[in-house]
Structure 1
Amino acid sequence: MKIVAPVALLGLALLGGCGQARSAPESADAVQQRAIDAQTAQRRTGAEIQDRALNRVIRTVYLCDNGERLTVDFDNPRAMATVRNSHGEAADLFQERTADGIWYRAGRTELRGKGILATWTADGRADTRCRAID
């Protein structure tokens, strides 16, 4: 019995060292490649990004040619957008079908656009071009 305990301890010590040892990278290229591999593993797929965009409220800030600043909350699950201007006025617009880009409207108020450019039409005012800044 006295011999079994030292043998068991020796066996545990040997088993503890069986894990893979990490060695320092051999070159700067190896370090860079490890970083690239880690970033690639963390990137989201296009489907994940699209799912996130379609199921959340996304806030975008536009700066318009007339000096107006619009904050737009695109509520994709409800197919609406809430547009707030720099004076604190808000308008709830409903999504319309479009072949490309965005189109939200309610009555004679609408926000249309594609990419970072949009046209804001507020009831009774001239159309103004806007550019997303956030």
Structure 2
Amino acid sequence: MQVAPGLVNQVGYLCDTGERLTVSYFSHRGAAALIRGETAYELQQVPAASGVSYVGRGVILHGKGVELLVDTNGSQQLACRASDSSFPRTP
């Protein structure tokens, strides 16, 4: 898939477990892609009281500022933080 420059924000996160994640935010489509290890998840944006929320395939992301919470299949919750100051932040 080709996307025009500036339409995708890619953010690297470091989680409290030491795990690293990458999220690509496609704001023009209301979608995001989570890369966790060798697995990619396509997520759709859903309404959030504050920040942003995305859901798909048993994964829920909620981000605000540099913070990101990842809930996988309701069994594991990761608290993550943007890991590189050169990445744009979620709204």
Which one has a larger percent helix, Structure 1 or Structure 2? 1
Partner of 1:71: 22
Task: Quote the Cα distance in structure 2 between the aligned partners of 1:68 and 1:122.
Answer: 14
* TM-score computed with the length of structure 1 as normaliser: 0.55
Gaps in structure 1 of 5+ consecutive residues: 1-54
Larger Rg: 1
Which one has a larger percent strand, Structure 1 or Structure 2? 2
Which amino acid in the other structure matches residue 118 of structure 1?
L
Identity of aligned residues (%): 35
Shift in Å, 1:115: 0.6
Task: Quote the Cα distance in structure 2 between the aligned partners of 1:124 and 1:76.
Answer: 25
Can you list the C-alpha shifts for 1:55-108, whole angstroms capped at 9, x where unaligned? 6110001111112111000011111000001x2211011001113101001143
Count of matched residue positions in the alignment of Structure 1 and Structure 2: 79
Choose the corresponding residue for 2:40, options 80, 90, 94: 90
Shift in Å, 1:126: 1.1
* TM-score computed with the length of structure 2 as normaliser: 0.78
1:99 aligned onto 2:52: no
Task: Quote the Cα distance in structure 2 between the aligned partners of 1:77 and 1:65.
Answer: 30
**Structure 1 vs Structure 2 CA RMSD:** 1.5
Pick 1 or 2: higher relative contact order, CA cutoff 8 A, min separation 6.
Answer: 2
Which amino acid in the other structure matches residue 12 of structure 2?
V
Can you list the C-alpha shifts for 1:34-53, whole angstroms capped at 9, x where unaligned? xxxxxxxxxxxxxxxxxxxx
